[in-house]
Structure 1
Amino acid sequence: MTLRLNEVQHGFKLIEEREIKEISSKAYVFEHEKSGARLIKIDNNDDNKVFSIGFRTPPEDSTGLTHILEHSVLCGSRKFNTKEPFVELLKGSLNTFLNAMTYPDKTIYPVASRNEKDYFNLMDVYMDAVLYPNIYKHPEIFMQEGWHYNIEDPKDELTYNGVVYNEMKGAYSSPESLMYRMVTKTVLPDTPYKEASGGDPDVIPDLTYEKFVNYHKKYYHPSNSYILLYGDGQLDKELKFLDENYLKDFDKIEVKSNIPTQKSFESLKEHSFEYGISEEDTLDDKTYLNLNFVIGKADEGELALAFEILTHMLLKTPAAPLKKALLDNGIGKAVSGEYSGSTKQPVLTIVAKNCNEKDKDRFKDVVYSTLKELVDKGIDKETIEASINRIEFELREGEYDGYPKGLIHYTRIMDSWLYEGDPFVHLEYDKYFESIKTALKTNYFEDLIKKYILDNNHSSFIILRPKKGLNEEKQKALRDKLDSVKKTLSEAEIKTLIDKCKTLKERQNTADTEEALASIPMLSIDDIDRKAEVLPLEERTLGGVKVLYHKLFTNKIAYLNLYFNCKALSSEDVVYVRFLADILGKLDTKNYNYGTLSNKININTGGIAYSPVSYSLNGKEGEYTPYLLINLKTLLSKLENGVDLLGEIIQNTIFDKEDRLLQLIKEMRSRIEGRLIDNGHRLALRKILAYCTEKGKYDEITLGLTYYQFLCKLEEDFDSKKSDIISKLKESSEAIFNKNNLVISYSSEEEDYNVLEKVAPKILSYLGEADIFNDRFDFGEIVTNEGLLTQGNVQYVAKGGNFIKKGFSYHGSLNVLETISGFDYLWNNVRVKGGAYGVFANFRRDGGAYIVSYRDPNIRETIKVYDEMKDYLNNFRSNEREMTKYIIGTVRKLDYPMTTASKAEVATANYFSNITSEDIQRERDEVLQTDDKTIRSFAPLVESVMNEDLICVVGNENKIKENKELFNTLEKVIK
């Protein structure tokens, strides 16, 4: 397609074209003349094509309108008149990404696929959804996804229910989420950013259906849209499709969605807020302290990149001077910071967690005095170089595990495009690095600190303090409010509410017609590659150590993974695998203090990471192998430097610095604590797998709640047990870092294999060679059926068991069962009808199986749904089209695009698990051959798993106590 500036193709006028060498792409900027839609095409050879349409959606209040709308437009549209086309696509598309996201000032709808036919299908469904949603025809969509009064009988109490309502109850159960909600509220108080775009549960029920639909009419117009096309798709075909099917039917209008600019403050503003803890909890070490600074404008590319680097430098590494100063002064147990450029006026946030309110003045004093000292004396140049190198490495590597590149580029484009700035200002970073690197010889960053932090009055200080019983107060106030509302209602009004709930249930219980389902575009089995991808792996040997070599294009980056078998440890010392992983590289060594070591790592590598992993042995129930995995990635030219640094850590780490060790224990405990409530589903499913598999027990100790409890115990007993802790660390390190434990995984092109050959002797020289005696771990009997209590307002409900122990075997079609249950039976009964935000099932090769819900208002009702899944399966019937859809949706998961690094890790995991390419092909064949008879055959398997009655629920303390007979034990999550 030949393109010329100012010419019109399919209604689109080309405004600008530009080469963007940083992402090896050519960019085109268009405007659709009739509708006013803006469109950017990022043209390159990436076959993972991305389409996204976004709208500028400033919230007018905190009712969560924009968030509820994001959910609701995907619940049926003009052309695709099913209850949930979004779910139908999840069932039956080869998409590599499919979602929608609400931001503080925009809502985006991105999809991605490597299959062209699928790509256009996704584009069609999403364009119809946002422009012609069924929200005008079916108020029940608003009730289901937003909120409604829930009542089935005049005698019942009035309650609220709704997917977004429950989602946000879960989100604001976390004090950290609550604090970040207050950041823009306090620094941008005269703009839409003061509102909670996701929705405040206390305010969501104020939203009316009329306001909801009127907002869509106002803002969901092409004139207010920002469209991205990314990848190797045919531009002419893409533009023609959008014009002829959608945009030609709209006339350009003025949509007043501009975001106002907050006037700068004359002085720092102080605010305090509260979050709830239980009556039995202590108030000590529970306060969050937070400083925020507004930093320039969103379209300042160099400033944004400089502050991303500066934030990393000040707050995100062991060498970070501001983080170190706060922790050394005993202010908080963990310190973090973020630079957020996804608002018109970006904000730098500095947070100290697990503080005491009396520390508030010292917190500010330490922040300002440390920054002033850095300005006056200068920042260590090695620290500057380290952060510049790390951020540059990540940008140039361009590996975004879990997200397609096109989506990452779109979000960066929107960070300026949405505010009428140059859309490519955050992609063309080469010139900025050239300028920023002058900091190695000038006061570049010191000047930024002075101008944008020390001399910047446009700032806020937040204290988020704990309050005993606050959640109970709120629950009582809500109960009183709803009781009061019910008392004001006449019998006729109550009947109207009951009738509305009945209508909603009828809609939810009524299956889509075959005609409606047939409207959802889908692929055929012929569009699927019947051959499974074979990941490269070749066994080699260096110095007597096994090497798993992956011949891959790595763009001159070396990916070196070292797997150390951990079976030499005793059962009681297994927890030290994770403990070592968390502290290595953060302690002094013989030749470097931990700050210098961190800088050396960031100067010479793209990072060294440590993590416990384990692999079950295919076909062998109860057998698995645990490893401590070290990931090292670096430019090939610097691999030897990276290996030297790793050798320094393995050989020369000093475990005896007691103050630093305690500081790290407190920091790790605080960080995990901050994630526990939001990740309640992970806690619950890990417990279920621990109840029923040996590998699950090991993983729960190293990755689950047990590890958090271990850290709590270490902190509490540190003074009396510190010598034992240090001894255990030394012993565990010696037992693990042994040549006889090691398997090397290495990715490069063949001509670069010699780089590994050169450094391998060094790697081995850093390791012990003593004989290894491996014992089988025995963790004994463990408590089952736990109710794990939090101050959250929702639950995470898990139930499962081990089907291999019950005489069943693993089959590839279990993958299809996951798709069917997750997007049909469980989705409809736990999410749609029950109001939970999410639910999914998993059936593993080692026999471990579970179902778990996410941000769920229920417990018993959800468990009942799980128990009745066998009945659904016994009666399962599916026509050929529907089964094809389920199979395609399953293959999508099997064929998820992987980064270079993840290809090597998956290939290695398969190797350790003894999963051959033949096994993978057989599994794929079984998926492709699945029919409804196969699915019905799994009913006894699911029944056997549910009959084990292994349950774990993480959630609201009062709700779990109301159902205490379900559990063998009740325990608080947060210590």
Structure 2
Amino acid sequence: MNNYKIIDEKYINEVGSNAIVYEHIKTKAQVLCLINDDENKAFGIGFRTVPEDSTGVAHIVEHCTLSGSRKYRTREPFMDLIQSSMQTFLNAMTYPDKTLYPISSRNKKDFYNLMDVYLDAVFYPRMYEKKEIFMQEGWHYELENLESDLLLNGVVYNEMKGVYSDPQNIVSDVITFNLHKDSSYGVDSGGNPKNIPDLTYENFLAFHKKYYHPSNSYIYLYGDLNMEEALKYIDENYLRDFEYEDIDSKIILNEAFKEQKTVYDTYSASNDEMGKNKDYLAYSWCIGNSKNKKDLFLRDFLSELLIDAEAAPIKKALLKAGLGEDIYAETSSSETLDLSIIVKNTSKDRLEEFKNIVENTLKDLIKNGINRDLLEATLNKFEFAFREGGGTQRSIIYYIRALNSWLYDESPFNGLTFNDVIDELKENINSDFFEKYIEEKLLNNPYSLISIVTPELDKNLKEEKELKEKLENIKNNMSKEELENIMKEHKELIDFQMTEDSKEDKATIPSLELSDISKNITHIPREEIEEEPYKVLINEQFTNNLSYVTLAFDANHFSEKEIFNLSLLTDLYGKVNTKNYSYEDLNNEIYKTMGGFVVNNLTYSDSKDYKKFYPYVNVTMKMLDDKIKDSLILMDEILNHSDFSDKNRIKEILLSEKSQMESAILQNGHGIVSEIVKSYYSAQGDYNGKTSGLPIYFYIADLLEDFDNKWEDFKNSLEDISKKIFVQNRLILNYTGDKKTYTANKENFKNLVKTFNSNNFEEIPYTFVENNKNEAYKTSANVQYVSKGYNLNALGEEYNGALAVLGNILSISYLHYNIRAKGGAYGAGIRFSRTGDILTYSYRDPHLANTVKVYDEIPEFVENLDISESELKDFIIGSMNSFDPLLSPVLKGEVNLSRYISNITEESIEKIKKEAIDTSLEKLKSYSSILKNAMDKNYICAIGGEEKIKKDASLFKEVINLKR
């Protein structure tokens, strides 16, 4: 440890770790170690990266850094590691002012392999010797011949085209770039598609050379590591080879506004997406700086208190005025602490009304005081969330939290400790502290911005036309020699992409051996108890004096006509009035009493019959051990005494639900299209569409279009369904925590169950007819999401663990290469489920028909698969986490419930895992014919831009306008 000096050290209760901050003596690299007994070891290295323009240089460098290095010579070591590692986290992220490279693994050998690949990548990337890496990941021109059109392509370029197709992202950018004009935050670190082609290869390399140096680094180690050994390794293999440099990575901030500003902008909408009340209005403030620990906490606290909570006064006031379909808060992830109130689907004509409501609500709160129950509930909610930790990926989340202060030259401990702030706020709860804070930071703060963002008809198409004209102009002004050079560079890129890594290069990638892999899976203890007329599952886990309870109610007694309304009803619990509480008071009581609860619809597959599934309504709650009795009394109030007669309130909730589903379409388009394909051939998929897919979205839209006329029937249906959801003999009570705590509260649980319906209901069979609908959904986006698939069991093939290995090979090698690296999509993959589903997907994809062609050629690729024993071994190892994933204690309880309902035993999982470990090349190739049969079924779905879908319309039976 002679090469490091200790800067600070303390035990941090909030993260259960002894925390030590070191400085590397030679380079002044900073290191944070969180020492604890977590077997999931984590490493991260980050750099303060401050872009000067919107060319996306920070983002493109992040992509390219992991595409080969000094020691690791393959084209994409990142993908090789996903293929062959036991990693529990492996990624990289670009923020407005930092770039992070975190990894984690439970296997020590694997951990050191991953850490070394990442360190070599960031300090010695291969992109200095291979321009093709920049061209593939960033942007490049494409020109097939002198007569063809000049085109633009690139992974980041297409990713950001997808981002810029999302209206909510555009609103976010308008706020940030105008609050911080002429500052480091006034440009897009991710890249604006219009500006990305302005980035030269030379400027790209200069950015890396400037910022990716140990003197500008923030290194992180976490878990049950020998920290001295890890620090010595980092020093001896990397840090000691550098000299200290005084790197100018200063973040430039603009001056605070002296008076409020107003800005206007637009987002693209198709003709079907135009209409009344399609505008966004936003009221934003910059309230301070992340260096102030209290301001950092209170910015997020105010977003919940004033805007996001069901009882939030600003949200209530705006909804009461019918100002928009959805109201939400947005906060920044940078040195500046920005807070925004955003109203979605409103009218710009109501701008003054919007401003007045926000300001008058704040004035009223300052004058008459904030509801103390709401304050207490919000504080409890934050305290509970921090006490839970960061969930499954807490090791990575702690790194990001530490950087909230560390990156800005404050102690990383400030981003990890919160008890002192919460204690101070609790002490002030009955004072006027909060009112004065709101008065200073919001009402009387001139550093504020009003944003109006409205739809512009076919803006994306206009920009595409402008781009085409610009490219034509560029081409026309190029000499023949310059055009031939573009053709030459494009050919060299294709050659680079098509040239397989040599055996020597492949050998540079570190890997585990099969002997490093346990043939068993992690045992999750479960005790089953019969408590007539219901069942109890106890999952004993250490949960830090927290209890997690799921009340799982079998829902197979609802008719198909009721399923849509069942889905909508579950979202109303806890958000409407009850017998003894208004919905506002109920929200406060929930978070004063517990950590929160959710009611949702789930389906579980049957492990022995792929055609069978089990629909459930699950009530999931979490609470402190000493609050169980009070929490269960409150659950009785919510589940048995909710009032579904408030028409206006229920309409507000449905409008918000519709808005959130619209937002999810562009953010999770790949998941949506693959689930739609599943709905064509699977009863479970068809059912899921009615509870969480596009069918329920269209149902909500139709309901809201004629809500007044449909209200009485809808209300009566909700009331009828509510009387038969929570049925005693249909209940499985799943408890995760300390068994002694359950035993001590056994009678409290029994008392709750006694309040539920004691009738017997007959099962109503779910009828389903397979239907190859082949739908395409048009949006104003200029990227696509494409899926094709079928069920292998339906073709006579039983699931085998080798399919997990094949999925790894196809996703990492074939689909990644053809759809992402070569095609320019942001992502692509394939999923094989244990019930036989085979579902492909692409994400932010510039292509459509070509992607389907790639899917159709999967069988040929499998038939001709030729990989070495060593490569096969790596693919096998890379599939292991699918059998034994990293799970938090609460997730272990949820997994046990799923296994119980689906009839999955740990022995059956170990059998499949053994099949994967024993996979042979012959076994993999044997799937070629069955995959061909699946692709020949031709079950396809896509979401995408109107022009692209129009061009490839022959693939589909029906083209549907998506936005309503």
Do they superpose with TM above 0.5?
Answer: yes
CA deviation after TM superposition for structure 1 residue 568, in Å: 1.1
Distance 2:331 2:788 in 1: 40
Alignment partner, residue 728 of structure 1? 717
Alignment partner, residue 463 of structure 1? 452
The residue correspondences of 1:157-236 to structure 2 (distance < 5 A) are 157-236=149-228
CA deviation after TM superposition for structure 1 residue 379, in Å: 0.4
Alpha-carbon contact 1:665-1:714 (below 8 Å) kept: no
Alpha-carbon contact 1:680-1:955 (below 8 Å) kept: no
Q: Does 1:770 align with 2:759?
A: yes
Per-residue CA deviations over 1:713-757 (Å, capped at 9, x if unaligned) read: 111121111011011111111221111221111112222221341
Alpha-carbon contact 2:273-2:963 (below 8 Å) kept: no
204-213 or 838-847, larger mean C-alpha shift: 838-847
State the one-letter code of the partner of 2:674.
L
Alignment partner, residue 4 of structure 1? none
1:861 to 840, 845, 850: 850
Distance 2:19 2:708 in 1: 60
Q: Does 1:804 align with 2:793?
A: yes
The DSSP-based 3-state class of the residue aligned with 2:627 is helix
The residue correspondences of 1:251-266 to structure 2 (distance < 5 A) are 251-266=243-258
Alignment partner, residue 365 of structure 1? 356
The DSSP-based 3-state class of the residue aligned with 1:560 is strand
CA deviation after TM superposition for structure 1 residue 783, in Å: 6.0
Distance 1:839 1:898 in 2: 25
Distance 1:922 1:781 in 2: 31
Alpha-carbon contact 1:384-1:439 (below 8 Å) kept: no
1:110 to 81, 96, 102: 102
The DSSP-based 3-state class of the residue aligned with 2:523 is coil
Alpha-carbon contact 2:545-2:625 (below 8 Å) kept: yes
Alpha-carbon contact 1:12-1:31 (below 8 Å) kept: yes
The DSSP-based 3-state class of the residue aligned with 2:557 is coil
Distance 2:71 2:156 in 1: 25
1:155 to 118, 137, 147: 147
Alignment partner, residue 323 of structure 1? 315
1:946 to 920, 924, 935: 935
Alpha-carbon contact 2:390-2:398 (below 8 Å) kept: no
1:926 to 901, 915, 929: 915
CA deviation after TM superposition for structure 1 residue 63, in Å: 0.6
Q: Does 1:971 align with 2:963?
A: no
Change (3 A) 1:863 1:415: same
Alpha-carbon contact 1:399-1:899 (below 8 Å) kept: no
1:641 to 619, 624, 630: 630
954-963 or 491-500, larger mean C-alpha shift: 491-500
Per-residue CA deviations over 1:194-232 (Å, capped at 9, x if unaligned) read: 001000011111111111011111111111111111111
Alpha-carbon contact 2:160-2:193 (below 8 Å) kept: yes
Distance 2:272 2:93 in 1: 38
Alignment partner, residue 822 of structure 1? 811
The DSSP-based 3-state class of the residue aligned with 2:415 is coil
Distance 2:16 2:736 in 1: 23
CA deviation after TM superposition for structure 1 residue 596, in Å: 0.5
CA deviation after TM superposition for structure 1 residue 29, in Å: 1.4
Alignment partner, residue 501 of structure 2? 512
Alpha-carbon contact 2:775-2:940 (below 8 Å) kept: yes
The DSSP-based 3-state class of the residue aligned with 2:599 is strand
Distance 2:274 2:96 in 1: 34
Per-residue CA deviations over 1:508-551 (Å, capped at 9, x if unaligned) read: 00110111111111111111111112222221022421111112
State the one-letter code of the partner of 1:653.
S
CA deviation after TM superposition for structure 1 residue 761, in Å: 2.1
Q: Does 1:752 align with 2:741?
A: yes
CA deviation after TM superposition for structure 1 residue 399, in Å: 4.2
Change (3 A) 1:203 1:457: same
533-542 or 866-875, larger mean C-alpha shift: 533-542
The DSSP-based 3-state class of the residue aligned with 2:408 is coil
Distance 1:732 1:779 in 2: 22
Alignment partner, residue 848 of structure 1? 837
Q: Does 1:390 align with 2:381?
A: yes
889-898 or 519-528, larger mean C-alpha shift: 889-898
Alignment partner, residue 581 of structure 2? 592
Alpha-carbon contact 1:684-1:952 (below 8 Å) kept: yes
CA deviation after TM superposition for structure 1 residue 935, in Å: 1.0
Alpha-carbon contact 2:681-2:772 (below 8 Å) kept: no
593-602 or 439-448, larger mean C-alpha shift: 439-448
Q: Unaligned regions of 5+ residues in structure 1, if any?
A: 1-8
Alpha-carbon contact 2:776-2:959 (below 8 Å) kept: yes
2:885 to 888, 896, 905: 896
734-743 or 78-87, larger mean C-alpha shift: 734-743
Per-residue CA deviations over 1:738-786 (Å, capped at 9, x if unaligned) read: 1122111111222222134121222212211122011111244656100
Q: Does 1:96 align with 2:123?
A: no
State the one-letter code of the partner of 1:761.
K
Give structure 1 regions of 4+ aligned residues with deviation exceeding 4 angstroms.
Answer: 779-783
Distance 1:904 1:65 in 2: 43
Change (3 A) 1:429 1:280: closer
Distance 2:588 2:451 in 1: 31
Alignment partner, residue 366 of structure 2? 375
Alignment partner, residue 76 of structure 2? 84
State the one-letter code of the partner of 1:100.
A
State the one-letter code of the partner of 1:370.
T
Distance 1:814 1:904 in 2: 27
Alignment partner, residue 326 of structure 2? 334
Distance 1:511 1:118 in 2: 25
Alignment partner, residue 135 of structure 1? 127
Q: Unaligned regions of 5+ residues in structure 2, if any?
A: none
Distance 2:51 2:82 in 1: 29
The DSSP-based 3-state class of the residue aligned with 2:386 is helix
CA deviation after TM superposition for structure 1 residue 950, in Å: 0.4
State the one-letter code of the partner of 1:142.
F
Alignment partner, residue 303 of structure 1? 295
Distance 1:271 1:569 in 2: 50
State the one-letter code of the partner of 2:161.
K
1:239 to 211, 220, 231: 231
Alignment partner, residue 281 of structure 2? 289
Change (3 A) 1:397 1:71: same
Distance 1:455 1:76 in 2: 52
Per-residue CA deviations over 1:560-592 (Å, capped at 9, x if unaligned) read: 101111111101211123212211110001110
Q: CA RMSD in A?
A: 1.2
The DSSP-based 3-state class of the residue aligned with 1:619 is coil
TM-score, normalised to structure 1, is 0.98
Change (3 A) 1:280 1:764: closer
Alpha-carbon contact 2:534-2:730 (below 8 Å) kept: no
Distance 2:836 2:14 in 1: 46
State the one-letter code of the partner of 2:206.
N
TM-score, normalised to structure 2, is 0.99
CA deviation after TM superposition for structure 1 residue 338, in Å: 2.9
The residue correspondences of 1:3-18 to structure 2 (distance < 5 A) are 9-18=1-10
Distance 1:651 1:43 in 2: 46
State the one-letter code of the partner of 2:423.
E
Q: Does 1:125 align with 2:117?
A: yes
Alpha-carbon contact 2:299-2:337 (below 8 Å) kept: no
Distance 1:830 1:283 in 2: 36
688-697 or 301-310, larger mean C-alpha shift: 301-310
Alpha-carbon contact 2:277-2:345 (below 8 Å) kept: yes
Distance 2:305 2:212 in 1: 40
Distance 1:692 1:66 in 2: 43
Distance 2:216 2:374 in 1: 43
Distance 1:769 1:17 in 2: 58
Distance 1:817 1:346 in 2: 46
CA deviation after TM superposition for structure 1 residue 907, in Å: 1.1
CA deviation after TM superposition for structure 1 residue 10, in Å: 4.5
